[in-house]
Amino acid sequence: MLHTGKSADYVNLALKNGAVSLVINLGSGAFEALVEPVNGKFNDNAWHDVKVTRNLRQHSGIGHAMVTISVDGILTTTGYTQEDYTMLGSDDFFYVGGSPSTADLPGSPVSNNFMGCLKEVVYKNNDVRLELSRLAKQGDPKMKIHGVVAFKCENVATLDPITFETPESFISLPKWNAKKTGSISFDFRTTEPNGLILFSHGKPRHQKDAKHPQMIKVDFFAIEMLDGHLYLLLDMGSGTIKIKALLKKVNDGEWYHVDFQRDGRSGTISVNTLRTPYTAPGESEILDLDDELYLGGLPENKAGLVFPTEVWTALLNYGYVGCIRDLFIDGQSKDIRQMAEVQSTAGVKPSCSRETAKPCLSNPCKNNGMCRDGWNRYVCDCSGTGYLGRSCEREATVLSYDGSMFMKIQLPVVMHTEAEDVSLRFRSQRAYGILMATTSRDSADTLRLELDAGRVKLTVNLDCIRINCNSSKGPETLFAGYNLNDNEWHTVRVVRRGKSLKLTVDDQQAMTGQMAGDHTRLEFHNIETGIITERRYLSSVPSNFIGHLQSLTFNGMAYIDLCKNGDIDYCELNARFGFRNIIADPVTFKTKSSYVALATLQAYTSMHLFFQFKTTSLDGLILYNSGDGNDFIVVELVKGYLHYVFDLGNGANLIKGSSNKPLNDNQWHNVMISRDTSNLHTVKIDTKITTQITAGARNLDLKSDLYIGGVAKETYKSLPKLVHAKEGFQGCLASVDLNGRLPDLISDALFCSGQIERGCEGPSTTCQEDSCSNQGVCLQQWDGFSCDCSMTSFSGPLCNDPGTTYIFSKGGGQITYKWPPNDRPSTRADRLAIGFSTVQKEAVLVRVDSSSGLGDYLELHIHQGKIGVKFNVGTDDIAIEESNAIINDGKYHVVRFTRSGGNATLQVDSWPVIERYPAGNNDNERLAIARQRIPYRLGRVVDEWLLDKGRQLTIFNSQATIIIGGKEQGQPFQGQLSGLYYNGLKVLNMAAENDANIAIVGNVRLVGEVPSSMTTESTATAMQSEMSTSIMETTTTLATSTARRGKPPTKEPISQTTDDILVASAECPSDDEDIDPCEPSSANPTRAGGREPYPGSAEVIRESSSTTGMVVGIVAAAALCILILLYAMYKYRNRDEGSYHVDESRNYISNSAQSNGAVVKEKQPSSAKSANKNKKNKDKEYYV
Q: Which residue has the higher pLDDT, 363 or 784?
A: 363
Q: Which residue has the higher pLDDT, 645 or 209?
A: 645
pLDDT grade for 582, boundaries at 50, 70 and 90 = confident
Nearest-angstrom CA–CA distance, 229 and 250: 6
Query: DSSP states of 1129-1182 as a string?
Result: HHHHHHS--TT------S-----TTT-TTPPPPPPPP--S--GGGGGTTS----
**Each residue's pLDDT tens digit, 822-864:** 889 999 899 999 999 999 999 999 999 998 888 899 999 999 9
Radius of gyration of the chain (CA): 48
* C-alpha closest to that of 827 among 1102, 1106, 1104: 1102
Which residue would you say has higher pLDDT here, 490 or 82? 490
Amino acid at 239: G
pLDDT band at 306 (very low <50, low <70, confident <90, very high): confident
* Residue 297 predicted with pLDDT over 50: yes
Helix (H) or strand (E) holding 343: helix 336-343
CA angle at 1169 for the pair 1163 and 1173, rounded to the nearest 5°? 35
Tally the C-alpha atoms within 13 A of residue 424's C-alpha that lie toward its C-beta: 27
The residue-averaged pLDDT of 346-370 equals 91
pLDDT for 903: 87
pLDDT of 915 > 70? The answer is yes
Average pLDDT of the chain, as a whole number:
80
pLDDT at 438 over 90: yes
**Cβ within 8 Å of residue 122, ≥6 positions away:** 129, 130, 131, 132, 133
Share of the chain above pLDDT 90, in %: 44
What's residue 113's pLDDT? 81
How many angstroms separate the CA atoms of 989 and 978, rounded?
9
Cβ neighbourhood burial of 702 (10 Å; 0-12, 13-18, 19+): buried
Altogether, the residues listed in the chain come to a count of 1184
| CA distance linking residue 465 with residue 471, whole number of Å | 8
Kindly tell me if the per-residue pLDDT of 35 is higher than 70. Answer: yes
Distance separating alpha carbons of residues 970 and 993, to the nearest angstrom: 27
| DSSP per position, 417-461 | ESEEEEEEEEE-S-S-EEEEEEE-SSS--EEEEEEETTEEEEEEE
- Mean pLDDT on 265-271: 90
Chain centroid to CA 473: 36
What does the angle CA 283 – CA 285 – CA 290 come to, to the nearest 5 degrees?
A: 125
Q: Select the highest-mean-pLDDT range: 9-13, 260-264, 527-531, 1006-1010.
A: 527-531
- The residue with greater pLDDT, 448 or 666, is 448
- 923 Cβ contact partners less than 8 Å away, ≥ 6 residues apart: 1143, 1144, 1145
Decide if pLDDT at 784 tops 80. no
Q: Which domains does the chain have, with CATH numbers?
A: 2-138 (2.60.120.200), 162-349 (2.60.120.200), 396-577 (2.60.120.200), 587-758 (2.60.120.200), 804-1010 (2.60.120.200), 1107-1175 (no CATH)
Indicate the range of 36-45, 157-166, 1048-1057 predicted with least confidence: 1048-1057
pLDDT band at 953 (very low <50, low <70, confident <90, very high): low
Q: What share of the chain is helix, strand, coil (3-state, %, to 5)?
A: 10, 40, 50
A 10 A CB-CB count for 307 gives 21
- For residue 134, pLDDT over 60 is answered with yes
C-alpha separations of 695 from 632, 653, 698 in Å: 16, 11, 8
pLDDT score of 157: 59
Nearest residue to 618 via CA among 983, 1054, 984, 1080: 1054
Q: How far is it, in rounded angstroms, from Cα 397 to Cα 1025?
A: 46
Least confident stretch, 70-84, 894-908, 1054-1068? 1054-1068
Which segment of 355-364, 809-818, 1122-1131 scores lowest on mean pLDDT? 1122-1131
In this predicted structure, the answer to whether residue 273 has a pLDDT above a threshold of 80 is no
- pLDDT at position 472: 53
Distance between CA atoms of 264 and 915, rounded to whole angstroms? 101
Helix axis angle, 922-931 to 939-952, nearest 10°:
170
Q: Measured between alpha carbons, how far apart are the two ends of the chain, in Å?
A: 127
User: Residue 380 pLDDT > 90, yes or no?
Assistant: yes
- At 677-692, the pLDDT tens digits run 889 999 999 989 999 9
Q: What percent of the chain has pLDDT over 70?
A: 77
611-664 pLDDT, tens digit per residue, is 999 999 999 999 999 988 889 999 999 999 999 999 998 889 999 999 999 999
d(CA 789, CA 440): 66
Output phi, psi for 857, to 5 deg. Answer: -160, 165
Alpha-carbon gap, residue 425 to 493, rounded angstroms: 9
Q: What is the pTM of this model?
A: 0.63
Residues in contact with 328: Cβ distance below 8 Å, sequence separation at least 6, in sequence order: 112, 113, 115, 183, 184, 185, 186, 334
